[in-house]
Structure 1
Amino acid sequence: MTDRPRSPLAMVLLALLAEQPMHAYRMQRLLKTRQKDAVVNVARSNSVYQALDRLERDGYVAVHEKVAADSAPARVVYALTDAGRDVLWQWMDAALAAPAREFPEFRAVLAVIALHDPAAVADRLEERAAHLETALAAAEAEDDVVAGMGLPRVLMLEHEHFVVVTRAELAWVRGVVADLRSGALTWDADQMRATSAAHDRA
């Protein structure tokens, strides 16, 4: 078994169950209420249920009780097992200590960007910068709200990280756009494609 989290969602679900037993719907609601849906993907309604099924098969969670609901199937309340508690700490330690080998979409497109026209790349990156500016403005506005709530800093570390990383990416994107617009960074896409093809045949 790897020490790394199986998925961010699995780790966060175990963390919720470390607080107290609860059913899937409550977990999904808490993720949204606490705005943790910004760090784990619960866009699909059955994501939580599928993750819990896998955690139960692995022995990390167990059925605590089934609660009857009016005109609906009984809700299954899950509890963290001892094995689940142990693996939660292992996953958290591993995720904190070393970066995961991830394959983000943006880095993937940068790896093949030489095939695209420099002017078009500059246009698209300007659009990206606008999206980043909007996200950063919203996050910074949230800072003011959080400050007024008096929440402990530890509850907002993922928000701090988002702000720092977004600022850094925005500065980098703006710099690349400036270099593209000035001509300091440019290339011939047709030549790049031909060079790549020739290199592959060698």
Structure 2
Amino acid sequence: MATRGRLSSVAIAVLALLAEEPMHAYRMQQLMQERGVGIVVNVRNRSGLHASVERLTRDELIRVRAVERDTRHPERTVYELTPHGRETLLTSLRDNVATPAREFPLFPAVVSFLHLLSPQDTRVQLELRAEALQRQLAETQAVLTASREHGVPRLHLLEHEYLQTATSAELDWVRAVSRDISTGALTWKPYA
């Protein structure tokens, strides 16, 4: 019954939904879409969700509760959280809230090699990133606004608030560096 490694964000989302009530994968995907979970968890394709469900079943964190059959829908397997799954979920939540993970996102890595681009090229690329970040902020704000209009409690929107704050901070930094390049406060000679 041991789990293999850390839980992925998709696995945490599946376990958390099943902590609310038993459901089939299609309902999980619907709830994630309704709640805007796709902004913080990569659930764009159904195959990733199904692979996670299979892995969680294999690891005995969830189990089949029933198979629904009716004439209006294809056969649907309803899953439920096991006691081991509930404990694993709660432990993972506690660990991930309390302890910052050593993550290695791509953007800081490529920033460390900007000296290979010219300042002008870097500024252009940063401006493109700023536009993309602005779009992400608008998407997040739209989810927050729609969710609040539908009466979604703030507790279920905290991840969007966090993402909005983190994206705003990144946008501020990107704009500041771009501005410093434009004014000549930051300059270099490219190595390549």
Q: CA RMSD in A?
A: 2.2
Q: What is the one-letter code of the residue matched to 1:61?
A: I
Matched, 1:137 2:138: yes
Residue 68 (structure 1) aligns with: 69
1:156 shift after superposition: 1.3
Matched, 1:34 2:64: no
Rounded to whole Å, the distance in 2 between the matches of 1:68 and 1:141 is 37
Secondary structure of the structure 2 residue equivalent to 1:32: helix
Task: Please give the residue correspondences for 1:1-202 in structure 2 after superposition, counting only pairs within 5 Å.
Answer: 5-70=6-71, 74-190=75-191
Q: Which moved more, 1:159-168 or 1:146-155?
A: 146-155
Q: Which moved more, 1:3-12 or 1:88-97?
A: 3-12
Rounded to whole Å, the distance in 2 between the matches of 1:2 and 1:110 is 36
Change (3 A) 1:50 1:69: farther
Q: What is the one-letter code of the residue matched to 1:64?
A: R
* Cα deviation 1:162-183 (Å, max 9, x = unaligned): 1211111111111100111122
TM-score (norm 1): 0.85
Q: What is the one-letter code of the residue matched to 1:27?
A: M
Provide structure 1 residue ranges, at least 5 long, that are not aligned to the other structure: 194-202
Q: What is the one-letter code of the residue matched to 1:107?
A: P
1:137 shift after superposition: 3.5
1:12 shift after superposition: 0.8
Change (3 A) 1:64 1:150: closer
TM-score (norm 2): 0.89
Q: Which moved more, 1:73-82 or 1:62-71?
A: 62-71
1:114 shift after superposition: 1.4
- Whose radius of gyration is greater, 1 or 2? 1
* Cα deviation 1:118-167 (Å, max 9, x = unaligned): 11010010111122223323434554444544443212111111121111
Q: Which moved more, 1:22-31 or 1:104-113?
A: 104-113
Q: What is the one-letter code of the residue matched to 2:76?
A: R
Secondary structure of the structure 2 residue equivalent to 1:189: coil
Secondary structure of the structure 2 residue equivalent to 1:6: coil
Change (3 A) 1:3 1:73: closer
CA contact (8 A) 1:4 1:91 kept: no
Rounded to whole Å, the distance in 2 between the matches of 1:160 and 1:25 is 26
Rounded to whole Å, the distance in 1 between the matches of 2:144 and 2:28 is 25
1:48 shift after superposition: 0.9
Rounded to whole Å, the distance in 1 between the matches of 2:13 and 2:148 is 24
Aligned residues: 191
Q: What is the one-letter code of the residue matched to 1:58?
A: D
Q: Percent identity?
A: 41
CA contact (8 A) 1:5 1:11 kept: no
Change (3 A) 1:106 1:5: same
Residue 196 (structure 1) aligns with: none
